[in-house]
Amino acid sequence: MAQLDFIVMAVFALLVLGIGMLFTRIGSKNSSAFFEAGGATPWWINSISLFISYFSAGTFVVWGSIAYKSGFVANGIQLTMVFGGVLVALFIAARWKRTGAVTAAEYIGKRLGTGTQKFYTFLIMLHGLFTTASVLYPVGKMVSVATPLSLNTCILIIGGVIVLYTSAGGLWAVLVTDVVQFVILTAAVVIVIPMALQEAGGMHAFVDKAPDGFFNFFNSEYSFGFFLAFLAYQTVYIGGNWAYVQRYTSVSSERNSKKVAWLFTLLYLVSPFIWMLPPMLYRVINPTLTGLQPEGAYMMLCQQVLPAGLIGLVLSGMISASASKANTTINIMAVVFAHDVYKKVLNRHASEKALVRAARFFTVFFGGVTIGIAMLVPLIGGIVEMVLSTASIAGGALFAPIIWTLYSRRQTAVSVVTASVCGLVISLGLKLMGPKLDRVWETALGVGIPIVVLLLWEVYYFIKKEEVAPELLQSSPSAATHTVEQQGDARTQNQFGMRVIAAAIAIVGGGIAVLGWVAVGGRVALITGLVIALCSWPLFRAAKGIK
């Protein structure tokens, strides 16, 4: 990498950090501002934040590695997000808004009791630590491939920046930086693809030189059975992950909650075919990668085809995408502990400012722990193994039982906890001590066991004619959960947030255009930057129209 690339990366890092700091004052007004951005954020911002947070979990390293080795299989796996998104939009998103809860933890406390709330809070914290670490590791890997810095140094620096802006501005800082990071990422990939195609000899040469079966959606390891099992997991994960639940509850209505899920689905229908093309092209350009080397295929391609300056831009986009997932998860863990542990257990009379301070403390604490775990990823077999094993063991057990209670008046704390414990214990036991299962069975059992247990409890309670929540779904309390003052603050936040997004996009577009102008062969970057800069104008006008 040239000095210009490091300058570009530093500029974009400072931009994202600066955006987070801009929301320090607004995010500190009250706990509603910090935790749920006033409860009335524009739905499309929440949806883009959900998309970029979800997409970045393993796009460039996990799915990029699979795309390099197996081609369209990576797209087949990601199509499960599309069908999962459809199911969430139709059946789940609005249900979360209807509960009137700020967080999933608050809902669990109301529906199943404080004991159950503490149980799930502890498990979700563990799960969140590992999923966030699985994001910090890939982005650290990318930067370490492209720079002389060690992997652990990269993880420490990137994790530190994320913790700083997330602790400063709360949910609004996360949402706005997510939108800006989405723009940077999209521009980066659009610039890479034509240059990679040229390096591969064009589309026809790429198709001719690709390995047999490279354009099949399934193979022996990731079969159609795995697709169905992973679809079940994706549905409960998109619909029940506490960080994503916050995207459905922090909008103004149930209808907007559904819109969040629908736009997420549309973006996922199109984007994987774009994002996965570069590592597939690199398989033709350099087919010699073995072991864990395919994890760095994306960055190796960029170094080979991009001129100085644009490498830094692409790397900034990849860092931004991964940062979005990390900041979302760290934010929700901090919010849950401040709102549902600190306030209700440690300091029942905490003031609004005390709650915000607690949330910031927990943000820094959890951020530090995840940085430590990320440094240990190579010791457990690489990032692909970590991501898929965490999903199969914990995903269904943690999220499916709570989603079930959104519909069932019969499920109790005992039945829900039993389902989760059975799923976790059996899946983890098989992983550690049982026969080695293929991806299909590992994922199917992880999701299927808790669902079977819940179904048995449902039948049992039906026979006994027991209902513990007869008032469930008979009203919609979410319409009156905020004071007049909080609603006014929400409008102010929305207007300020939109202006920040518009200004940041104008700056990003202008910066990309300048890079394209000075770089050799940077015509695509120049055009992309100008288009992005022009997109800021309607956002400025939309900000003025918020009342």
Q: Are 176 and 37 in contact (CB under 8 A)?
A: no
Q: Are 265 and 104 in contact (CB under 8 A)?
A: no
Helix 151-200 × helix 484-518 angle, to 10° = 60
Determine the Cα–Cα distance for residues 431 and 425; give it in Å rounded to an integer: 10
Is the per-residue pLDDT at 471 higher than 80?
A: no
Is the per-residue pLDDT at 474 higher than 50?
A: no
Nearest to 386 by CA among 468, 292, 250, 453: 292
pLDDT of residue 30: 47
Domains of the chain, residue spans: 3-235+245-388, 493-546
Q: What tokens appear for 359 in the block?
A: 């949330």
The percent of residues in the chain predicted with pLDDT above 70, rounded, is: 81
Give one DSSP letter per residue of 24-53, joined into a string: HHHHTS-HHHHHHGGG---HHHHHHHHHHH
Torsion 56-539-22-31 (CA) sign: negative
Determine the Cα–Cα distance for residues 213 and 104; give it in Å rounded to an integer: 43
Query: How would you class 202 by CB atoms within 10 Å of its CB: exposed for 0-12, middle for 13-18, buried for 19 or more?
Result: exposed
Tens digits of residue pLDDT in 286-302: 998 887 678 778 778 88
pLDDT of residue 40: 64
Determine the Cα–Cα distance for residues 191 and 213; give it in Å rounded to an integer: 27
Burial annotation 77-95 (CB, 10 A radius, 16+ → b, else e): bbbbbbbbbbbbbebbbbb
Torsion 100-101-104-105 (CA) sign: negative
Task: State the pTM of this model.
Answer: 0.78
210 alpha-carbon distance from chain centroid: 31
Tens digits of residue pLDDT in 229-246: 889 888 998 999 887 898
Q: Band the pLDDT of 349: cuts 50, 70, 90.
A: confident
Q: Bigger pLDDT: 84 or 540?
A: 84
Alpha-helix runs per DSSP H in 147-202: 151-200
Helix 104-112 × helix 114-146 angle, to 10° = 160
Q: What is the number of alpha carbons within 13 Å of residue 156 lying toward its C-beta?
A: 5
Within 8 A by CB and 6+ apart from 42, the residues are 251, 494, 498
Q: Bigger pLDDT: 356 or 155?
A: 155
Determine the Cα–Cα distance for residues 277 and 152; give it in Å rounded to an integer: 29
Q: Are 447 and 233 in contact (CB under 8 A)?
A: yes
How many C-beta atoms lie closer than 10 Å to residue 441's C-beta?
17
Is the per-residue pLDDT at 544 higher than 70?
A: yes
Phi, psi values for residue 475, rounded to 5°: -145, 170
Q: What tokens appear for 257 in the block?
A: 């909650």
What type of residue is 377? V
Q: Are 143 and 317 in contact (CB under 8 A)?
A: no
Tokens 């951005």 sit on residue: 37
Alpha-helix runs per DSSP H in 30-113: 31-36, 43-55, 64-70, 73-87, 93-98, 104-112
Tens digits of residue pLDDT in 197-212: 988 988 999 999 999 8
Determine the Cα–Cα distance for residues 510 and 505; give it in Å rounded to an integer: 8
CATH classification code of 3-235+245-388: 1.20.1730.10
Is the per-residue pLDDT at 285 higher than 80?
A: yes
Q: Band the pLDDT of 539: cuts 50, 70, 90.
A: confident
Tens digits of residue pLDDT in 378-403: 665 555 566 667 777 787 889 999 99
Determine the Cα–Cα distance for residues 410 and 438; give it in Å rounded to an integer: 35
Query: Mapped to the 3 state alphabet, what secondary structure does 367-404 carry?
Result: HHHHHHHHCCHHHHCCHHHHHHHHHHHHHHHHHHHHHH
Determine the Cα–Cα distance for residues 116 and 226; give it in Å rounded to an integer: 32
Q: Are 4 and 489 in contact (CB under 8 A)?
A: no
Q: Are 31 and 38 in contact (CB under 8 A)?
A: no
Q: What tokens appear for 393 in the block?
A: 């063991």
Query: How would you class 438 by CB atoms within 10 Å of its CB: exposed for 0-12, middle for 13-18, buried for 19 or more?
Result: middle
